[in-house]
Structure 1
Amino acid sequence: MLEWLVINSWVLWLALFLVLAIVEMMTLDLFFIMMSFGALIALFTALLAWPFWIQVVVFCVVALLMVLVVRPVGLRHLRRGPRDRATNVDRLIGESAMALEPVTDHSGMVKIGGDTWTARSSDGSAIPAGARVAVARIEGATAVVYPAAEPGPYPAQ
């Protein structure tokens, strides 16, 4: 079996390419696609009938170069953009909210947009229920807020 795999190594590289591409589709972190590219180049070396050990070296070198050189550039381009393209909790930073119950440095509840969040005060001060606050940052599932001077959107601190 092992001898057949070495002789028909293109099957191994094709399978590895497909598996790594599928894993990348599930994770979306630009790591496995870089390794997948290494498997694709190794597939071409197998089709050129290069020795198996050279195919493995080509795979390792190409995958390593892709991860170290291309991935950081790709991540930088994906994360670049204006504030209106912020996603997930990053979009909440600086948003206006209302305290649903008193917010202290240990507990509280606020309503941000249409969602209710556990909250705590960023400076340790007590914020009364019904007061306007702004989101300083998000820590896990807790919004860290500070008192807002007036209703409306607030810049991030």
Structure 2
Amino acid sequence: MTALWIAAIVVFGVVEAVTAGLVSIWFVPGAVAGLIAAMAGAGLLIQLVLFLAVSAAALAATRPLVKKLSAGRAVPTNADRVLGRTARVTETIDNDSASGAVYVDGKTWTARSADGSVLPAGSRVEIRRMEGVKLIVEAAQKAPDKKEEVV
């Protein structure tokens, strides 16, 4: 059994080294516990119980760290700051021909109509959402004419 536990330690260690995420690291201390039990002359059932118990304890002890590492870090791109803004159509938006572009915030974006309507170049649109690198837009509601105030 000693050779089997040593092989398990090596296999779990290699699998962990080859994979990108934490996959089998918790089984390494469990296999070490099984190895120690085998070297002490314990029976197979005791070795397996120790393997499972130590592996579970290692998982429980490192779970907060794993959650923190696997949560990832969102990299803000500020691309979503255009949502809800008004843009100018620079190329007629026609979902059927997969064409259209808008200009907003100093950049030209590929755009598609939210309701499938054709939006002519030069018109104003409101940006509703973003799908990948495309903006989904709707025709802008015309603002009521403001009367100029006389000072």
Aligned residues: 121
Q: 2:111 aligns with which of 116, 119, 126?
A: 119
Question: What is the CA-CA distance between 1:88 and the residue it aligns to?
Answer: 7.8
- Per the normalisation by structure 2, the TM-score is 0.52
Structure 1 gaps, min length 5? 24-31, 80-84, 151-157
Counterparts of 2:29 and 2:85, CA distance in 1 = 52
1:94 Cα offset (Å) = 2.7
Gaps of 5+ in 2: 38-43, 143-151
CA contact (8 A) 2:5 2:31 kept: no
Q: Distance in 2 between matches of 1:93 and 1:119?
A: 12
RMSD: 4.1
1:145 maps to 2:137: yes
Paired with 1:53 and 1:90, the residues of 2 have a C-alpha distance of 52
Q: Distance in 2 between matches of 1:45 and 1:130?
A: 68
The higher radius of gyration belongs to 2
The alignment status of 1:133 with 2:125, answered yes or no, reads yes
Name the one with the larger helix percent. 1
Partner of 2:29: 44
Higher strand share: 2
Query: CA separation in 2, counterparts of 1:86 and 1:117?
Result: 18
State the TM-score, normalized to the length of structure 1.
Answer: 0.51
Once residues 76 and 139 of structure 2 are traced to their aligned partners in structure 1, the CA distance between those partners, rounded to angstroms, is: 23
Q: Is the 8 A contact 2:83 2:128 kept in 1?
A: yes
2:103 is paired with a residue whose SS is strand
